[in-house]
């Protein structure tokens, strides 16, 4: 029985309130179809959602059981009567679908339908989709009043869809920002690159509701194919992996192209045979672009039957790909920096060993070779004893180098305590009386430079032990005119500062380290009057 007009107005008002109170787009679409069927007494109802290109990307139904939908198969492509509204978005009412020359018939297992009523839903300045109703209960066809009611409901639906879309976009944006922050934090914290790439794949898969996601990098110069570096989701079936990563596959096309590659559920394989389907749905692939070229590709593959990714989803994949590229470049830069630091340290050690230990060993070797076998036994013994004494000095020098390279002195202790421990070890090893004056507040403000301050102190003390022949020294850390000033003063034999940088005292290494920290270093020394090394470091 056809509802009376006042009752229908109340039903329309109630339907509008129900739509306006919901912000989930999927729930809104279900409610639209249900309200349309209730308002017009339709046995079957559906809403076809159109994508940006005007093709149907989703189809929500009412009146057909899930089992029947599975038997029918894929959703409509938009041919026949459904395509009429897609091409000409105006209300359409038919008494019998089968008698209309534009009808394309029904697929197998589809229930028979006669009367038809359809209306477009205009949301956000475009046709969002169309409402389709069939088989009017209690009447041979839908009435003009049914058409007017459906048109009004479509207007209410447009407002609800717009609100739900904006709300969903805001939620998606918030989740993306949170994911981006998590990835950035992991990158700056120096997490392993595999862990960061796994995080990118996981967040991309989660935010796009994908079946799985992967990050792949070229093997060699890129002609050797792609290697999966990280993945997330339910796992990649071997067939999907071969098709997605094969030459001329979507990942390869994205890697070599300038735009993301979006595919439907069928992907061309490496043999070029079209129509070979992967076990999953539509996909989007975006390349990882760095300063030195293409680094890899990020792909997100949807669930089977899932709609192709919208433009916003494609842009999100591009942003995740950009973050993965930054993480890769940052990791490579950190590795290169660590390599350079190691090379610098090796160069410093080589210089120190060459100037000290190696030269001493060479002198001992030359002395032993110069012994005349025919010399008197006492002379030979004296020369050997002298060589042993020189070797003792070399051993002492090696201990000094080991002392200067020993790591971990800053572990679990503040800088001030580390410097005191350093001087105590120096005094016990070298027998040089050492006085220490450290302002712990200044030391606390140098925490971030602690390893550099310790190394500077080690090098200065090592110079004293190897060259100064000092009886005492003094170490002082204080603040002077807003600078942290480290002073190390000994009463040794001194030297001419003009020749110190070529005399193997390690002072050039110290100056380079101080300059890298934005500080200043000065040396005051005269022969037989001791040496003072003064290092000034910025506190801010």
Q: What is the pLDDT of residues 360-373, one digit of tens each?
A: 676 677 677 777 77
Structure tokens at 403: 């002392």
Give phi and psi for 201, each to the nearest 5: -60, -40
Domains, the chain? 5-169 (3.30.450.40), 190-335 (3.30.450.40), 343-538 (3.30.565.10)
Distance CA 498, CA 487 (A): 20
Name which of 6-10, 340-344, 403-407 the model is least confident about.
403-407
User: What's the DSSP call for residue 106?
Assistant: -
Average pLDDT, integer, range 494-498: 71
CA distances from 136 to 117, 159, 338, 506 (A): 9, 26, 75, 96
**In this prediction, what percent of the chain has a pLDDT beyond 90?**
19
- CB burial readout 169-203, b (16+ within 10 A) else e: eeeeeeebeebbeebeebbeeebebeebbbbbbbb
CB 183 within 8 A of CB 197: no
Output the pLDDT for position 475: 97
Torsion angles phi and psi, residue 44, rounded to 5 = -125, 145
Which of 14-18, 37-41, 224-228 is predicted most confidently? 37-41
The reported pLDDT for the residue numbered 402 is 64
491: pLDDT strictly greater than 90: yes
Give the model's confidence band at 392: pLDDT under 50 very low, under 70 low, under 90 confident, else very high.
confident
Query: H or E stretch including 43?
Result: strand 42-50
Contact 139, 7 (CB under 8 A): no
CA 412/CA 102 separation, integer angstroms: 82
Lowest mean pLDDT among 61-70, 195-204, 326-335, 490-499: 490-499
Answer for the pair 43, 63: CB distance below 8 angstroms, yes or no. yes
d(CA 450, CA 410): 8
Res 360: pLDDT:
65
Q: What is the pLDDT of residue 532?
A: 95
Spatial distance between the Cα atoms of 358 and 352, rounded to a whole number of angstroms: 9
pLDDT at 158: 86
∠ CA 237-239-241 to the nearest 5 degrees?
A: 70
Confidence band, pLDDT 50/70/90 cuts, at residue 276: very low
Q: Is it the case that residue 526 has pLDDT exceeding 90?
A: no
Query: For residue 538, is pLDDT > 90?
Result: yes
Q: Residue 274: its pLDDT value, please?
A: 36
Closest CA to 253 of 280, 213, 216: 216
Which pLDDT band holds residue 502 (cuts at 50, 70, 90)? very low
The answer on pLDDT for 229 being more than 60 is yes
Mark 141-161 as b/e (b = at least 16 C-beta within 10 Å): ebeeebbebbebbbebbbebb
pLDDT the model gives residue 171: 86
**pLDDT value for 313:** 84
Cα 370 from chain centroid (whole Å): 65
| DSSP per-residue letters across 182-230 | HHHHHHHTT--HHHHHHHHHHHHHHHTT-SEEEEEEESTTTTT-EEEEE
């Amino acid at each position: 029985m056809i509802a009376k007009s006042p009752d229908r107005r109340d039903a329309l008002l109630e339907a509008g309130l129900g739509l306006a109170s919901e912000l989930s787009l999927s729930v809104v679409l279900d409610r639209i179809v249900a309200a349309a069927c209730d308002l017009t007494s339709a046995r079957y109802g559906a809403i076809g959602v159109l994508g940006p290109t005007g093709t149907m990307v989703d189809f929500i139904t009412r009146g057909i059981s899930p089992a029947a939908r599975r038997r029918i198969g894929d959703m409509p492509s938009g041919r026949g009567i459904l395509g009429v509204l897609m091409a000409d978005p105006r209300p359409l009412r038919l008494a019998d679908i089968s008698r209309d020359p534009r009808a394309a018939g029904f697929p197998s297992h589809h229930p028979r339908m006669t009367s038809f009523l359809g209306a477009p839903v205009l949301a956000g300045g475009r046709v969002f989709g169309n409402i389709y109703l069939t088989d009017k209960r209690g009447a041979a066809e839908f009435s003009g009043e049914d058409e007017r009611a459906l048109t009004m409901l479509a207007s209410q639906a447009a407002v609800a869809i717009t609100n739900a879309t904006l709300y969903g976009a805001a939620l998606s944006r918030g989740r993306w920002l949170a994911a981006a922050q998590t990835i950035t934090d992991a990158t700056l914290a120096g997490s392993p690159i595999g862990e960061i790439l796994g995080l990118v794949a996981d967040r991309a898969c989660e935010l796009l509701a994908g079946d799985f996601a992967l990050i792949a990098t070229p093997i060699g110069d890129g002609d050797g194919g792609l290697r999966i570096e990280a993945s997330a989701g339910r796992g990649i079936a071997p067939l999907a992996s071969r098709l997605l990563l094969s030459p001329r596959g979507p990942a390869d096309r994205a890697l070599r192209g300038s735009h993301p590659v979006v595919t439907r559920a069928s992907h061309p394989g490496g043999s070029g045979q079209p129509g070979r389907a992967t076990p999953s749905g539509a996909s989007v692939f975006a390349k990882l672009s760095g300063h030195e070229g293409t680094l890899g590709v990020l792909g997100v593959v949807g669930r089977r039957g899932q709609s192709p990714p919208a433009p916003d989803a494609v842009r999100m994949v591009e942003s995740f790909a950009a973050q993965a590229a930054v993480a890769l470049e940052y990791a490579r830069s950190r590795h290169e920096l660590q390599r350079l630091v190691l090379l610098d340290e090796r160069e410093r050690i080589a210089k120190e060993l060459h100037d000290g230990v190696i030269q001493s060993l060479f002198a001992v070797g030359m002395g032993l070779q110069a012994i005349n076998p025919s010399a008197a036994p006492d002379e030979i013994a004296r020369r050997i004893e002298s060589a042993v004494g020189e070797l003792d000095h070399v051993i002492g020098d090696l201990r000094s180098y080991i002392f200067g390279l020993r790591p971990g002195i800053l572990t679990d202790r503040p800088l001030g305590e580390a410097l005191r421990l350093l001087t105590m070890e120096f005094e016990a090893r070298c027998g040089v009386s050492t006085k220490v004056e450290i302002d712990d507040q200044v030391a606390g403000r140098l925490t971030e430079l602690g390893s550099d301050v310790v190394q500077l102190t080690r090098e200065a003390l090592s110079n004293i032990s190897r060259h100064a022949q000092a009886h005492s020294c003094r170490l002082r850390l204080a603040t002077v005119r807003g600078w942290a000033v480290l002073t190390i003063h000994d009463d040794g034999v001194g030297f001419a500062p003009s020749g110190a940088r070529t005399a193997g005292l390690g002072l050039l290494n110290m100056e380079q380290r101080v300059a890298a920290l934005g500080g200043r270093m000065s040396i005051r020394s005269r022969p037989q009057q001791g040496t003072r090394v003064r290092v000034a470091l910025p506190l801010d």
